[in-house]
Amino acid sequence: MNELESLFDQGSELMPWLADSVINLVIGLVVFFVGKFIASKVARWCEKRLLKGSVDQAVAGFASSILYALMFTGVALMALGQIGVETTSFIAILGAAGLAVGLALQGSLSNFASGVLIIILRPFRSGDFIDAGGQMGTVNRIELFHTHLKTPDNRVIIVPNSSVMNGSIVNFSRESTRRLDLVIGISYDADIRLAKQIMEEIVNADERILKDPACLIAVSELADSSVNFFLRPWVASGDYWTVRADLLEKIKYTFDERGVGIPYPQMDVHVHKQES
């Protein structure tokens, strides 16, 4: 009987502790999920405010990512404290394990440092078309560890920031003008003066081609089966691809109409018959 009373007394003492633990656990989970939701909303709100303030989208996205990470860390510590975990000792444990984690996550830390350098040095902005990290596309967003590129065929490529900063970056959108570098070949039987005149007429008739700097049209090479011309007009960066396609099409049609031949690779084979 005494043993039953002892067990009952222990159970009576355990029940309040268990009830408090469950309540604290529930409150901790509520704090975590509600805090995470609020952190996400605040980060998005800050990003929108920065964009309204004419801040570059890449910078706004990077800043909102940092803000969310800081708020999420604070929420996680609050939730752990509510559950009963000693956050002071927990932070000390995290600090002690920081070196090991840092060594294990060298790539991630390198990506973060590279992201900071991208924001500081600004080799490109949101909306620029770049070639970086072995990928080409329009910069859509810069985050803590990755840069998001959107390709012309609407694919999204996520490139690690370290890959972007450790290689060459080609920014096709930084300058307002670009030069077209075309090579136009004509047959050896064609009139060089006439071919040059036709190309000059086509270039002068296209209003999208800039007058300054002047377009260069000159013989560049006497190749195996063609006489090659350099055709190098300057255009606005946004007109680059459309002008390129239009020029090639107009040159082909006009050459055909005015009898200027465009050669294709060919080989003459001579067969010698030897009498027996």
Element (H, E) at 76: helix 57-83
**3-state SS assignment for residue 183:** strand
Return d(Cα 89, Cα 78) in angstroms, integer: 14
Q: Which two tokens stand for residue 31?
A: 């704090």
Where on the phi/psi map is residue 47: left (φ > 0), alpha (ψ -120 to 50), or beta? alpha
- Mean residue pLDDT of the chain comes to 81
Cβ(151)–Cβ(165) under 8 Å? no
- The rounded percent of the chain whose pLDDT value lies above 70 is 78
What is the predicted pLDDT for the residue at 24?
Answer: 74
Q: Check pLDDT > 60 for residue 9.
A: no
Q: Which two tokens stand for residue 109?
A: 């830390």
Q: Check pLDDT > 70 for residue 99.
A: no
Return d(Cα 95, Cα 87) in angstroms, integer: 12
What is the predicted pLDDT for the residue at 125?
Answer: 85
What is the predicted pLDDT for the residue at 245?
Answer: 94
pTM of the complete model: 0.59
**3-state SS assignment for residue 179:** strand
Q: Which two tokens stand for residue 59?
A: 């910078």
